[in-house]
A and B are shown apart, each in its own frame.
Chain A
Amino acid sequence: MRKFIFLIYVCLFVFNWGKAWSLIEVDITRGNLNPLPLAVSPLSVDQNSKDKFKDLLKLEDIGIEISKVVENNLRQSGLFNPLDPKAFLQKPDIAHVKPRFEDWALIKAQALITGEVKIVDEKLRVEFRLWDVLAGKEIMALAFTTVSENWRRVGHIITDKVYQRLTGEKGYFDTRIIYVAEEGLKTSRIKKLAIMDQDGFNTKYLTLGNELVLTPRFNPTNQMVTYLSYFKNLPRVYLLDIETGIQEVVGDFPGMTFAPRFSPDGKKIIMSFAKDGNSDIYTMDLESREVEKITNHPSIDTSPSYSPDGKYICFNSDRSGYQQIYVMRSDGSKVKRISFGNGLYGTPVWSPRGDLIAFTKLHKGKFYIGVMRTDGTGERLLTENYYQEAPSWSPNGRVLIFYRETKSDSAGKGFSAKLWSIDLTGYNERMVKTETDASDPSWSSLLTD
């Protein structure tokens, strides 16, 4: 009995003691989405290397140039606010070895990027460090060696690493964009395939402009491109090897083929084939050249796009009477309509993350670029304009690139087509710099993982 009472007392004691000394807890469930202020210190270069790079690349200071690439990338992302280098108090060479965090905190920098550029065995060696200013510690340090002509790519790779370290997702800066470069009046447009870095530099033209080209798409390794071109006035799907420049027609289809895209493993091409006014979706195995019919419906089925795991395909079809988005298994079974909003839906593209489908929507004479979940819920229209279409995802699934056209007069004057990008928030909308007018962009995957 005594023991029992004693136990009760002990229990009461422990229980009350715990209550009297419970730790205060505060739940923080909100934060801000303001761009993170960070400092990109110019990369330091010793005089010998500086002189050599000046001869090789005609650059006054390669360290400053690489830091500018990084700074521009981070600013364009909308997630970072690179601070003005004029406010920096510490010299780049000293900052790279031992930053005075107080100085960087004083200008409100929360992160700091420092680096050093050297020439080693006639190659470019770039070392960079990422510092957490508030914690006063280094959180990343990497070095790259490459041919000196690749200096811009080094800037992109540094940005990718910083982006991933600070946001938790992979970057999209060391990537390329293939698009249709356009010149001339709207009525007599010259269209060429062009490829450039995602920031608009290093543009190269892949075709001469003799034939009309449309809808280029990268394969997963970024070595091959499939696109639509005209052969004997008939649109046909082509394959182009970027390295060798060799191109070939895909399949021996009697009618027109269009809207080509690679499967996620790069082994197949999925496209539309039109015959007698009816178009269906087909795949072609690139090795065996076997063709498989995926849809079989009297309506127009087009714009197919695989899910990242290759198990599903989204496409648009007018089988309901209006052009809407549908999802089916990759063998063509279990077709399900997912778009039910007002207006017409087209050009669906599955996100590389697998969670969203981007689309173009036409409603009341306006074109919208939007996203919805793969089951059709959560439709969000990101941007509206007179004419815009063909969204393509960045490899991390956060940004969309598309093209936008302006109105022209009857003679085709005043017309322009430009590439634009917008992130999933819908706030960070920017024009992408191109040498000429541009349309039909397609974003590559990351060139280095």
Chain B
Amino acid sequence: MANNIIISSLLHLFLIIITALSLPFLAKKPIDLPPIISIELIQITDKTSIPYAPKAKKIIEEIKKKEKEKLVSEQAPPKKVKKEKPDAIPLPDEQKNIVKKPEEDKQNPEKIDDEIKQVSEFEKKELFDPNNIAALIDKSKEETAEMIKNDNKITQSQRKSVISSGLTLNEEDALKAQIFGCWSIPLGLPYNEDLLVRIKLNLKPDGTIINSEILDHARMNKPGQGFYKVLAESALRAIRLCQPLRVPTTGYERWKEIQLNFDAREMLQG
């Protein structure tokens, strides 16, 4: 009796482990993150291009505000600086006053420009303060992480298509676009017939073909299906012409075997 319980428990345990291992959420590999180094991050290393990076710009602007607040609070009342910019010609009396205070020089347009430039330069310098860079990197990481999260949300909402193709939409589109260009559809095919050819490919990591197999091979020799041979050959030509195929750079295990379904009906029926 005790033996039976032990055997039964062991078997159950074995089944539970196997089942658990094969559950989709466990079998699913961690998200294969594409190279996420954003342009902003790369350009941060290049001091001159920081202001032009769109996402960094936002961060810069945020920092600008902070810095401005800092500067203004230290050097001049913030209201004055903002109001003086649009005024082109300061009143003489005011000018006198302005001369006294460095902030009042901003009433001269040229100087305002200089000052703007200076502020910009100043900001750049400030930006490249190691602390700020760290903050920027942290922020951009957060941003990219958020973007990835969003992407994941999108792909998960379209989960069916991703699961069925096993490629992301971008990866699938890239592959399709490549093969569209290589496939010369035989125009004489009877367009009211079944014009689907399924080809299974084994691929190398660089996208070259190890071997190809027509899945409905038997149909080639069926009477009245002569057109199928022509269609299948055209599909094989397209694959050979296109190789190496535009496959993702990562996740080889995922796509080393792939099935292409060539369907000419849409094109021929027009």
Chain A residues within CB distance 8 Å of chain B: 2, 5-6, 9-10, 12-13, 16-17, 19-20, 22-34, 36, 79, 110, 132, 134-135, 139, 164-170, 396, 398
The distance in angstroms between the C-alpha atoms of A23 and B256, with both chains bound, is: 10
The verdict on B226 contacting chain A, using a C-beta distance below 8 Å, is: yes
Q: Which of A17, A28, A33, A398 has the most CB of B within 10 A?
A: A28
Q: How far is the CB of A226 from chain B (nearest CB, A)?
A: 30
Q: Which residues of B contact A110 (CB under 8 A)?
A: 184, 237, 241
Complex CA distance for A9 and B165, rounded to whole angstroms:
27
Alpha-carbon distance A26/B199, docked complex (angstroms): 10
B239: nearest chain-A partner, CB-CB: A134
- Among B230, B231, B261, the residue within 8 A (CB) of A27 is B261
State whether A16 touches B181 (Cβ < 8 A).
no
The verdict on B84 contacting chain A, using a C-beta distance below 8 Å, is no
A85 and B167 alpha carbons, distance in the complex (Å): 43
Q: Known contacts being A20-B22, A26-B259, is A31 close to B238, with CB within 8 Å?
A: yes
Minimum CB distance partner of A111 in chain B: B237
Q: How far is the CB of A371 from chain B (nearest CB, A)?
A: 12
Name the A residues within 8 Å of B27 (CB-CB): 16, 20
Q: Chain B residues with Cβ under 8 A from A169's Cβ?
A: 187-189
Please indicate the chain A residues that have their CB under 8 angstroms from the CB of B233 in the complex.
132, 135, 139
Tell me whether A32 and B188 are in contact (CB under 8 A): no
A24–B165 CB distance below 8 A? yes
Query: Would you call B128 an interface residue if the criterion is a C-beta within 8 Å of the partner chain's C-beta atoms?
Result: no
- Provide the bound-state CA to CA distance between A29 and B12, in Å: 48
Beyond known contacts A26-B258, A32-B183, A167-B187: 11 more, CB 8 A cutoff: A6-B15, A9-B19, A16-B23, A23-B259, A25-B164, A28-B260, A28-B261, A28-B263, A30-B267, A33-B184, A135-B240
Asked if B80 is an interface residue, CB under 8 A from chain A, the answer is no
Given contacts A23-B259, A26-B260, A134-B237, contact A166 B186 (CB under 8 A): yes
Task: Check B262–A28 contact: CB distance below 8 A.
Answer: yes
What residues of A have a CB within 8 angstroms of the CB of B267 in the complex? 29-31, 33
Instruction: Write the residues of chain B forming the contact surface with A, with a CB cutoff of 8 angstroms.
Output: 8, 11-12, 15-16, 18-19, 22-24, 27-28, 163-167, 172, 175-176, 179-190, 200, 226-227, 230-231, 233-238, 240-241, 254-255, 257-267
Contact A168 B261 (CB under 8 A): no
Q: How far is B232's CA from A165's CA once the two chains are assembled, in angstroms?
A: 12
- Contact status A135-B185, CB under 8 Å: no
Q: CB distance A167 to B186 under 8 Å?
A: yes
From A23, A24, A139, A167, residue with most partner B Cβ within 10 Å: A24
Given contacts A16-B23, A20-B27, A168-B231, contact A29 B185 (CB under 8 A): no
A30 to B264, CA, bound (A): 7
Q: Among the listed A24, A30, A134, A164, which residue makes an inter-chain contact with B259, where contact means beta carbons less than 8 Å apart?
A: A24
List of 3 A-B pairs having minimum Cβ-Cβ separation, nearest first: A169-B188, A31-B183, A24-B166
Q: Are A32 and B185 in contact (CB under 8 A)?
A: yes
In the complex, what's the smallest C-beta–C-beta distance from A127 to chain B, in angstroms? 22
Q: Is the CB of A167 within 8 A of B166?
A: no
Question: Are A30 and B180 in contact, CB atoms less than 8 angstroms apart?
Answer: yes
Secondary structure type dominating chain A contacts = mixed
By the criterion CB–CB under 8 Å, are A26 and B176 in contact?
A: yes
CB distance from A219 to the nearest CB of B (A): 26
* The one of B11, B190, B236, B266 that contacts A29, using a Cβ cutoff of 8 Å: B266
Can you list 6 residue pairs at the A/B interface with Cβ under 8 Å? A2-B8, A5-B12, A25-B164, A26-B175, A27-B176, A134-B236
Tell me which residues across on chain A come within 8 A of B255, comparing CB atoms. 24
* Residue from A20, A27, A168 within 8 A of B24 (CB atoms): A20
Give the chain B neighbours of A27 by CB distance below 8 A. 176, 261, 263
CB distance from B166 to the nearest CB of A (A): 4
With both chains docked as a complex, state the minimum distance between the C-beta of B74 and any C-beta of chain A, in angstroms: 61
CA distance A23 to B198 in the complex (A): 12
Cβ contacts under 8 Å, B241 to chain A: 110, 134
B258 touches A31 (CB 8 A): no
Q: Are the C-beta atoms of B230 and A165 separated by less than 8 Å? A: yes
Given contacts A23-B200, A31-B183, A32-B185, contact A168 B230 (CB under 8 A): yes
Report B238 CB to chain A, min CB distance, Å: 7
Give the distance to chain A from B84, nearest Cβ to Cβ, in Å: 62
Find out whether the CB atom of B260 lies under 8 angstroms from the CB atom of A13.
Answer: no
- Whether B238 lies near A13 (C-beta < 8 A) is no
- Rounded to whole Å, the gap between the CB of A19 and the closest CB of chain B is 6
The complex places the Cα of A398 from the Cα of B186 at a distance, in Å, of 13
The docked-state distance in angstroms from the alpha carbon of A406 to that of B188 is 34
Please name all residues of chain A whose beta carbon is closer than 8 Å to the beta carbon of B181 when the two chains form the complex: 32
- In the complex, the answer to whether B18 meets A13 with C-beta atoms within 8 Å is yes
B contact residues around A166 at 8 Å (CB): 186, 230
B22 touches A17 (CB 8 A): yes
CA distance A34 to B234 in the complex (A): 13
Decide: A168 and B164 in contact? CB cutoff 8 A. Answer: no
Assembled-state Cα–Cα distance A216/B33 (Å): 72
The reply to whether B237 and A135 contact each other, CB–CB distance below 8 Å, is yes
Known contacts being A31-B184, A166-B230, is A25 close to B259, with CB within 8 Å? yes
**With A6-B15, A24-B166, A168-B189 known to touch, is A16 a contact of B24 (CB < 8 Å)?**
yes
Separation of A279 and B7 alpha carbons in the complex (Å):
98
A166 and B229 alpha carbons, distance in the complex (Å): 10
CB pair B167–A26 under 8 Å, yes or no, is: yes
Bound Cα distance A164, B262 (Å): 20
CB distance from B195 to the nearest CB of A (A): 10
- C-alpha gap A139/B24 in the complex (Å): 46
Partner of A25, one of B179, B184, B235, B261: B261
Taking CB as reference atom, which chain A residue is nearest B189? A168
The answer to whether B240 and A22 have CB atoms under 8 Å apart is no
Among residues of B, the one whose C-beta sits closest to the C-beta of A78 is B187
B187 to chain A, nearest CB (A): 6
> What residue of chain A has the Cβ atom nearest to residue B235's Cβ?
A28
Do A28 and B176 touch (CB < 8 A)? yes
